[in-house]
Every structure is written in structure tokens, then in C-alpha cells.
Amino acid sequence: GNSVTQMEGPVTLSEEAFLTINCTYTATGYPSLFWYVQYPGEGLQLLLKATKADDKGSNKGFEATYRKETTSFHLEKGSVQVSDSAVYFCALMRKTSYDKVIFGPGTSLSVIP
Amino acid sequence: NAGVTQTPKFQVLKTGQSMTLQCAQDMNHEYMSWYRQDPGMGLRLIHYSVGAGITDQGEVPNGYNVSRSTTEDFPLRLLSAAPSQTSVYFCASSYSDGPRDEQYFGPGTRLTVT
């Protein structure tokens, strides 16, 4: 079946450090891939997305590339800030089924000054 | 434009009690859904709706009911609360069912069942 695996953390980084949060998926066909971010006390917000292989999603300095050969969608940022402290969720969506949005368990990131 | 709103923010129930979690959106979105968030498990889909009058079950529907009488509102009913339903509940909406359409999430309801 479809599934999403991501490092659970928590991840603690110093400000301006490089961030990578790994995400790999298992799915039939060619799903769309997403990263959502949840700031403390809030709901999830879409951070970026990619809908086909080799697409790169980017937003707010974050990037992720849809790698079909490795079934991965790793999230990266070159220089994190304290304001990036949040929980990050990788997710996939099958293109033919609205109800099949699968979320990973989330990765908690804390950035310290 | 308030987006997706949820009430209440926090709720404590005793086992066996019933209650309704409210969700409303003002973006004229056709698609609405309810998720529960549990530690280490990400979000799991409870029920969803593709338009007024149409609902369907998600991954974990047992113990919950929904209805969609208007485009704006999508309440979630807990019929007889159980401790296993202690969770954070999120409502989400989107314009359509395509993968290019972003889901907008409400701020969540934290429910504790004792």
C-alpha cells in the first residue's frame, strides 16, 4: 500500500545551520508529493509541492526535489532561522483519489539561537 | 476572509458522552475533510465530503459521524466518546480534488476523553 516514511526527530539545529529532513515514499503510480509545516498551536500549512518526477518545489528558502528513482522527497534549507521551528510533514496524494492523502509521522525541528 | 475555523479549541469529555466539533470555511471550497493527529502517526483521514449532501469514509471512521448540509459547514459528531478518541482534530478544505489544489487547515481542536 501507499506510505510515507520520514525521520521523526526531534531535530535540533543552531541558527544558520543546513537542514535536511528525509522523506521516502511507497506508492503505486505517480503520486503528487507535499511538505506541510505546523507551527506551534496552529494547523498545517502547505510549504511546497511537486506533482511529477524531477520537479523541484520551493518556498521560503526551503526546497525539495521529486526523485522517482529513489522514491524520495527530502526537504532542505541552506540556513535555518529560529522562526523555522515547527513540525514538518511529508505527504503524498494519489492523482485519482482525493481521499488518499497519506501523511508521514512528522519531524519536529527546533532551531536555537 | 477567515479561512477554515474550528470550535471549540479545547474540550474534555467523559467516556460515553457525545459532542459535535464544528468546522466552517468561507472560501466556497467544495472539498472538506476531518483528520485526527496522534503522536508518531501523522494525520489520518476520518471522513470527507466532495460537496453539499455528499460524504464518505476515510481511514478511521468508526465512532464518528458527519453531515454536509451546506457548502460552508462540515461538523464532526462523536457518538459515544472513548479514551481512544483523545486526539487533536483538524478540519481541512480545498477547492477541488486535484493534487494541485492546496488543502487549507483549521487551527485544530484538542480533545481529551477521560
Task: Give, as one character, the DSSP assignment of residue B102.
Answer: P
Question: Does residue A89 sit at the B interface (CB-CB below 8 Å)?
Answer: yes
A29: left (phi over 0), alpha (psi -120 to 50) or beta: left
Interface of A with B in 1-30 (CB under 8 A): 4, 8
Closest alpha carbon to A52 in A78, A80, A24, A32: A32
What's the grid cell of residue A103?
501523511
Decide if A103 and B43 are in contact by the 8 Å CB cutoff: yes
**A93 at the B interface (CB within 8 A)?**
yes
Across residues B102-114, what is the average pLDDT? 92
Give me the tens of pLDDT residue by residue for chain A, a chain 113 residues long: 788 999 878 999 999 999 999 999 998 878 889 999 999 888 899 999 998 899 999 999 999 999 999 999 999 999 999 999 999 999 988 766 555 678 899 999 999 99
What pLDDT score was predicted for residue A99?
54
User: Which of B18, B7, B79 shows the shortest CA–CA distance to B47?
Assistant: B79
The three-state secondary structure class of B99 is: coil
The single-letter DSSP state of residue B103 is P
B58 vs A: CB within 8 A = yes
Q: Which residue of B has its CA nearest to A32?
A: B99
Residue A96: predicted pLDDT: 60
Amino acid at position B46, single letter? I
Question: How close B80 gets to chain A, by Cα (Å)?
Answer: 25
| Cα–Cα distance for residue pair B69/B67, rounded to 1 Å | 6
> How many angstroms separate the CA atoms of A25 and A92, rounded?
8
